[in-house]
Amino acid sequence: MKVYKTNETKNIALIGNAGSGKTTLAEAMLFESGLIKRRGSVEGKSTVSDYFPVEKDYGYSVFSTVFSYEWKDKLMNFIDCPGSDDFVGGVISSLHVTDMALMLIDAANGVEVGTVNQFRYVDELKKPMVLLVNRMDHEKADYDNTLAGLREFYGNKVVPVQYPLGSGSSFDGIVDVLKQKMYQWKPGSAAPEVLEIPDSEKERAGDYYQVLLEAAAENDEGLMEKYFDQGSLTEEEMRDGIHKGMLDHTLFPLFCASAEKNMAVHRIMNFLNMVAPSPDEVPAPVNSEGEEVKPDASAPASLFFFKTTVEPHIGEVSYFKVMAGTVKEGDDLTNINRASKERLAQLYTVAGQIRTKAEELHAGSIGAAVKLKDVRTGNTLNAKGNNNRFDFIKYPEPRYRRAIRALNESNAEKMSEALTRMKEEDPTWIVEVSKELKQTIVSGQGEFHLRTLKWRLENNDKIEIEYLEPKIPYRETITKAARADYRHKKQSGGAGQFGEVHLIVEPYSEGMPMPEVYRFNGQEFKVQNRDTQVIELDWGGKLVFVNSIVGGAIDARFLPAILKGIMGRMEQGPLTGSYARDVRVIIYDGKMHPVDSNEISFMLAGRNAFSTAFKNAGPKILEPVYDVTVSVPGEYMGDVMSDLQGRRAMIMGMESEKGFEKLKAKVPLKEMSTYSTSLSSLSGGRASFSMKFASYELVPSDVQEKLLKAYEEQEKED
């Protein structure tokens, strides 16, 4: 393969709702480019993109797939992204390393929830975007309705460059507004006839042309002046105006096609070849220091690794973008994330499993390397003189969690290794071995997401696993002040054990003052703050430990032991064995023995005094509550809201967003266990949601009673 310069490279993310035909379009493009001699199909499990066993079995994209081809002296790098929202990680990483998006819309379904979600990421990153209404040959295809839906969402930014002639079985041509030509396909013909626009279409074509002309002129003062002077622009000038509008994120050109029948695919390839921006035309990314890193091929090399796959007979394949400089086979680079050296023995451009050797890759290029020693997804490799680190990819919070266990205990370690490997391939999988819950928790983007993980473990790694309802990480706290004392005394010959601790506990909130006097059962206890330790607990919240001892009742050297005893009890609260938090403990008195007092004595005395006081301080259970945002078509709003209220949700607000209702609520994690499945069922798969931890809140009294009863029964069984 020839060496392509930065301005001869195009990087494009292929996105769209599941079922919009992205993988089929990728196949058609590769066929048109000559890289493959025969087109595969999703149904035939023979496409270049969906080549992993799970993708063939399920018939949908699980991973993003890089594919590159040469086209008219340009290197076209695409990343075919999964359409399901459960695999959004591939979309997010791909948009960060490409320079524009080609968004497919199903002509039969119009704007779908996946369209809206993926556009949100495009909009946040201000990426140029081309829209393609695909599947015009579908019996329910409706171009006009799809265009109306797109304009409802994106306004007049959506500007048709083409419109179809017919739809469904009668779809046989397009009118190309930019070229002012008609393309028509005869049955069984691969190439269209290029014809003049017939009289019956001239008025409609003229109206679309005027809109496109004005939209193109608006993006350049020189073009606008010429348009006012002459009333028209050349095709090349209009392309320049479209190009600038795309870069400014103010114009989204709209095309139409049938990728399955390879109708109009050649035309969209030509347009992208001429109008898609190259890496040096878009805003430069910034490194972790906030410095711009321009795609300068003469600078020291810097590579960002955005994707890893594990392929049979090869091992790890690592995909990267050359952020700066030029990289060649045999280059020695430094991994700034892991402080290790790495040699790039071989470089490739890829199309799925098809790898083409590349002698060198310039800034802006996307490539792959195999069997690297110590590279992980998200790492940066630098040549000498370069210290870039890139951490710009932020993945969404998980929305679905399950406990996982190997059915055969002997496979537990093997399962753990497989989960670690799969997280490298998809960073939106979160794996946590919870000491607190005594479970391995796998969190992902939805039920579909975790079902895929299970398929891969059982079919690829031959590890039978099961999902269990995950335990909830409850917390315990107190609601009022209480006091207790405890004497630990033990005599067993020789030196004994003696320690006595008097303490007060109370609920703690940030910045609250400490009283000088506490009253319990008509008795006053005066305290003096001699020293305070604020301990940030690993599980959230704080323990405030106050030394209020006067007169040397307890030697200061025993205070760490008392604190250790209290911390041990906070790790296993008295109500449900959950972690305790947000407690202030005041040690105000006690007793020592000149011979028998030691650290173990005061640790046990502190632990037991704290436990007694905690139980008398109105202990309550706290549960994790999440901020949940649901995006749902208006017709399903009532059902969705009723379902949330049945989950103890507190509705925080609603707003409309271009045909969808956005509902915000606070929902206990316990109630979100099956929400992904329920929401899909309620909305016919058209709604989506996101969730993020908000806070710990007191559980209602009836819920607390159930939890206490369940814990008691569990303790009896154990």
- As a whole number of angstroms, the distance between CA 171 and CA 269 comes to 20
Mean pLDDT of 173-188: 93
Amino acid at 389: R
Of 471, 495, 518, the position where a domain reaches its end is 471
Is there a domain that residue 710 lies in? no
- Among positive and negative, which fits the CA dihedral 262, 267, 270, 275? negative
Range of the domain at 626: 621-703
Check residue 114 and give its pLDDT: 85
> Which DSSP string corresponds to 204-246?
HHHHHHHHHHHHHHTT-HHHHHHHHHHS---HHHHHHHHHHHH
Check residue 430 and give its pLDDT: 94
Residues 571 and 699 in one domain: no
Residues 119 and 218 in one domain: yes
Asked if pLDDT for residue 493 goes beyond 70, the answer is: no
Check residue 59 and give its pLDDT: 85
Asked if pLDDT for residue 619 goes beyond 90, the answer is: yes
* Domain containing residue 574: CATH number: 3.30.230.10
Window from 22-31, 46-55, 98-107 with minimum mean pLDDT: 46-55
**Counting beta carbons within 10 angstroms of the beta carbon of residue 643, is it exposed (0 to 12), middle (13 to 18) or buried (19 or more)?**
middle
Is there a domain that residue 314 lies in? yes
Q: How far is CA 468 from the centre of its chain?
A: 23
Asked if pLDDT for residue 658 goes beyond 70, the answer is: no
Report residue 310: phi and psi, to 5°: -115, 115
Check residue 660 and give its pLDDT: 79
Q: Contact at 8 Å (CB) between 163 and 208?
A: yes
Check residue 51 and give its pLDDT: 86
Mean pLDDT of 161-183: 94
- As a whole number of angstroms, the distance between CA 664 and CA 630 comes to 6
> Which DSSP string corresponds to 16-61?
ESTTS-HHHHHHHHHHHHTS-SS---TTTT--SS--SHHHHHHTS-
**Nearest CA to 533 among 590, 591, 583?**
583
- As a whole number of angstroms, the distance between CA 347 and CA 360 comes to 7
Model pLDDT for residues 573-583, shown as the tens digit of each residue: 878 889 999 99
Question: pTM here?
Answer: 0.86
Q: Using alpha carbons only, give the angle 464, 470, 473 rounded to the nearest 5 degrees.
A: 145
**Could you tell me which residue, 187 or 16, shows the higher pLDDT?**
16
Q: pLDDT-derived band of residue 495, with 50, 70 and 90 as boundaries? A: confident
Residues 92 and 146 in one domain: yes
Tokens 């306004």 -> residue: 155
Is there a domain that residue 1 lies in? no
- As a whole number of angstroms, the distance between CA 476 and CA 590 comes to 27
Residues 142 and 164 in one domain: yes
Mapped to the 3 state alphabet, what secondary structure does 705-718 carry? HHHHHHHHHHHHHC
Tokens 């030394």 -> residue: 547
Check residue 675 and give its pLDDT: 93
Is there a domain that residue 327 lies in? yes
Model pLDDT for residues 526-548, shown as the tens digit of each residue: 999 999 999 999 999 999 999 99
Percent residues over pLDDT 90 in the chain: 80
Is there a domain that residue 166 lies in? yes
Residues 570 and 696 in one domain: no
* Domain containing residue 419: CATH number: 3.30.70.870
> Which DSSP string corresponds to 616-658?
TS--EEEEEEEEEEEEEEGGGHHHHHHHHHTTT-EEEEEEEET
Asked if pLDDT for residue 688 goes beyond 70, the answer is: yes
Asked if pLDDT for residue 466 goes beyond 70, the answer is: yes
Residues 275 and 368 in one domain: no
Question: Dihedral of the CA atoms 311, 312, 314, 320 (nearest 10)?
Answer: 0
Is there a domain that residue 503 lies in? yes
Asked if pLDDT for residue 492 goes beyond 80, the answer is: no
Residues 611 and 680 in one domain: no
Asked if pLDDT for residue 209 goes beyond 90, the answer is: yes
Is there a domain that residue 163 lies in? yes
**Nearest CA to 257 among 47, 21, 13?**
21
Asked if pLDDT for residue 712 goes beyond 90, the answer is: no
Residues 529 and 669 in one domain: no
Structure tokens at 370: 């195999």
In total, how many domains does the chain have? 5
Check residue 113 and give its pLDDT: 80
- As a whole number of angstroms, the distance between CA 234 and CA 232 comes to 7
Model pLDDT for residues 34-54, shown as the tens digit of each residue: 999 999 999 899 999 988 888
- As a whole number of angstroms, the distance between CA 317 and CA 649 comes to 44
Q: How far is CA 267 from the centre of its chain?
A: 34
Of 565, 585, 618, the position where a domain reaches its end is 618
Mean pLDDT of 11-24: 95
* Domain containing residue 681: CATH number: 3.30.70.240
* Domain containing residue 179: CATH number: 3.40.50.300
Is there a domain that residue 709 lies in? no
Percent residues over pLDDT 70 in the chain: 99
Window from 71-85, 107-121, 499-513, 600-614 with minimum mean pLDDT: 107-121
- As a whole number of angstroms, the distance between CA 176 and CA 160 comes to 9
Check residue 646 and give its pLDDT: 95
Residues 520 and 646 in one domain: no
Check residue 482 and give its pLDDT: 97
Residues 682 and 570 in one domain: no
Asked if pLDDT for residue 494 goes beyond 80, the answer is: no
Mean pLDDT of 70-88: 94
Residues 561 and 645 in one domain: no
Size of the chain in residues: 718
Mapped to the 3 state alphabet, what secondary structure does 301-347 carry? CEEEEEEEEEECCCEEEEEEEEEECEEECCCEEEECCCCEEEECCCC
**Nearest CA to 456 among 16, 52, 41?**
52
* Domain containing residue 347: CATH number: 2.40.30.10
Amino acid at 450: L
Q: pLDDT-derived band of residue 677, with 50, 70 and 90 as boundaries? A: confident
Check residue 718 and give its pLDDT: 66
Mean pLDDT of 247-259: 96
Residues 612 and 501 in one domain: yes
In this structure, the strands spanning 400-406 and 380-382 are unpaired
The kind and range of the H/E element at 183 are: strand 181-184
Task: Report the chain's mean pLDDT, rounded to a whole number.
Answer: 93
Of 618, 648, 675, the position where a domain reaches its end is 618
The kind and range of the H/E element at 605 are: helix 599-615
Check residue 152 and give its pLDDT: 87
